[in-house]
Structure 1
């Protein structure tokens, strides 16, 4: 027996059908809408494995979506929840980026032929512009500004 049964009202069914036909929605949201239509007890009501196979998703996704619909309603399923942590804060702001560009365009220490990503990241830490920074962050920042010096 399924723990979270989806019972759509006629208005919700109509909204979901229109939602899936609209070309301005994310593919993920359309998939969740189609999932609810397939899981509806008044409609065709397929089991989770059949829904997952038909939509190309996992059974776990079907279960989680059913649960979210039952507990929080239709809009909670169709709209992404905002992140609570607001993501990871950026280490490279305009000030650090400007300093990185200046370093990359300057002469290297100890007569090296050119700056390496590790040398640049070490220098940013030595100058106390950041507490720590990875070579990858330096690489992405330089790529963003199209620096051909390195």
Structure 2
């Protein structure tokens, strides 16, 4: 792989100055070591031993460099997620219904609501998604609701 002079200068700056994530510095060092624009490159085993990385890391960084079209900056930075994170089932409306249930009278035979009892009753209500007792506890704790 060949780096431009500007890319090479930027990678040297990444590895020598400032505070950056260790993974970014490691990928920048790998790119600098695999650069053929400055002359003959050592074997992959020698490079891996010198940088303290595996041969697989060398292969993956070179592959990412090829996938980004030779963009060194895109190679050393984190990839964007392909899929967005899973949205929370707890919306404002669900939270309000959950708090209203927790503040209401407990069912007959119970002195107070527990998280597991709330979990059972949430499963019976059609408007609410099935929530785990730990999720219910997090919602109530966030709103400073005390089960009495």
Q: Contact conserved, 1:69 with 1:77, CA < 8 A, in 2?
A: yes
Question: 1:144 matched to which residue of 2?
Answer: 142
Structure 2: give runs of 5+ residues left out of the alignment.
none
Query: How far does the alpha carbon of each residue in 1:91-134 deviate from its partner, in whole angstroms, 9 at most, with x for none?
Result: 00111112222222333213324323232233223222333222
User: 1:93–1:51: structure 2 CA closer, same or farther, 3 Å change rule?
Assistant: farther
Query: How far does the alpha carbon of each residue in 1:4-24 deviate from its partner, in whole angstroms, 9 at most, with x for none?
Result: xx432221111112223232x
Cα root mean square deviation, aligned: 3.1
Structure with greater Cα Rg? 2
> Residues of 2 paired with 1:135 and 1:89: CA distance?
18
Q: Contact conserved, 2:29 with 2:51, CA < 8 A, in 1?
A: no
Task: Give the structure-1-normalised TM-score.
Answer: 0.70
> Residues of 2 paired with 1:49 and 1:146: CA distance?
58
Question: 1:129 matched to which residue of 2?
Answer: 127
Q: Contact conserved, 1:29 with 1:79, CA < 8 A, in 2?
A: yes
Structure 1: give runs of 5+ residues left out of the alignment.
1-5
Question: 2:65 matched to which residue of 1?
Answer: 69
Question: 2:44 matched to which residue of 1?
Answer: 47
Query: Which of 4, 22, 25 pairs up with 1:9?
Result: 4
